[in-house]
Structure 1
Amino acid sequence: MPTVTVQQGPRDVELKRELVKQITDAFVDAYKIPAEAVTVWIHETPADSWGAAGKLTADK
């Protein structure tokens, strides 16, 4: 049973629905498993709680 974790900043619920669908479809196609076997976790972190290249994402 594959479990996929996506770490990202906040996104609209419609975008997350599409992401979960496409990730699930990729595993169904690649592994020939039922969609029910795939779990996708989305962990959202506010832009003021992470950074890259020495700067908070909120400051970009």
Structure 2
Amino acid sequence: MPLITVELFPGRTPDKKRELIQALTDTYVEVCGGKPQAVTILLKEVDPADWGVGGKTYADIIAESKAQA
């Protein structure tokens, strides 16, 4: 049973999450075969303050980007 894990920032509506889960399931089945019922999708929402790149948190990167706009 495949497990697809997606880590993303919070903010998507339940409808968007359903759409993403359906699209990932459909794509997996199309590419790898199998039954949709066997595909498990796990969405993990991560706070931007807990996600970093280049030595900065995304919360800081977002704040800097807004300040420059």
TM-score (norm 2): 0.75
Counterpart residue identity of residue 9, structure 1 = F
Give the corresponding residue for 1:50: 51
Name segments (4+ residues, structure 1) moved above 4 Å. Answer: none
Please state how far the C-alpha of 1:20 moved relative to its aligned partner: 0.8
Give ranges in structure 1 of 5+ residues lacking alignment: none
Instruction: Give the number of the structure whose residues are more often helix, by fraction.
Output: 2
Matches of 2:52 and 2:58, distance apart in 1: 5
Matches of 2:32 and 2:54, distance apart in 1: 36
Does the alignment pair 1:15 with 2:41? Answer: no
Please state how far the C-alpha of 1:56 moved relative to its aligned partner: 0.8
Over aligned residues, Cα RMSD in angstroms?
A: 1.2
Matches of 1:21 and 1:56, distance apart in 2: 30
Counterpart residue identity of residue 25, structure 1 = D
Counterpart residue identity of residue 25, structure 2 = T
Please state how far the C-alpha of 1:41 moved relative to its aligned partner: 0.4
Please state how far the C-alpha of 1:15 moved relative to its aligned partner: 2.3
Give ranges in structure 2 of 5+ residues lacking alignment: 62-69
Q: Percent identity?
A: 37
Give the corresponding residue for 2:30: 29
